[in-house]
Amino acid sequence: MNDSEWEAWQANWTSAGGPLPDVRARAAHQASRHRRANVIFLALMACGALANAWAAIAGRAEPISSWILSLWIAAISIGFMWIQRGSRLRRAVSPREALAFLERRVRIERQGAQIVRWGYSACLLFVAIYFRDLFGDAWLVKLVARLVFLAFFVIALTAPWWMRRFTSRQQAEIDVWRRWMDEQQL
């Protein structure tokens, strides 16, 4: 959508009753936030893969744990990239398209929580079982390590619930904007 089309939309909105929703600005903000999050995620996964490769080459890691960690990194990365397919925001976008982008963002965040639930839970179970003697014989250290693993396991399992709570406000705002556009026939 070019500037003249956008001005035409704004003219329609100013003649409409009720508040003017700033859908395009919100979508642009979410798109930049989405790009930053992807860069950070991919950088963390790349650092983990490099550290894992270094440990495997230097002989500091057991081969089975190195392979399983490599598979886990690949699975989590592919999962996150798969659920984000088609979620880019074009530069010239109408308010309806911006609203659809915001809805896709909410859906992606909720699907990402499912990946966290199953991917991290499986990884934590593997580490807890495979490295059960990693923390030595001190009972206090073992107790603290088990409690930390249990806390992370509970966080991973409940990720969809807290992500739904986090995104419910965004979804409610999207629903209000959609109703307003439908009422104004925009």
Is 90 exceeded by the pLDDT of residue 164? yes
91 or 18: which carries more pLDDT confidence? 91
pLDDT surpasses 70 at 14: no
Q: What is the mean pLDDT of residues 63-85?
A: 86
Token pair of 88, please? 């880019």
pTM equals 0.69
Residue 147: pLDDT band (50, 70, 90) is: confident
- The CB-side HSE value for 73 (13 A sphere, CA atoms) comes to 19
Alpha helices in the chain (DSSP H): 3-15, 23-57, 63-83, 95-115, 121-130, 139-157, 159-184
* Band of pLDDT at residue 50, cut at 50, 70 and 90: very high
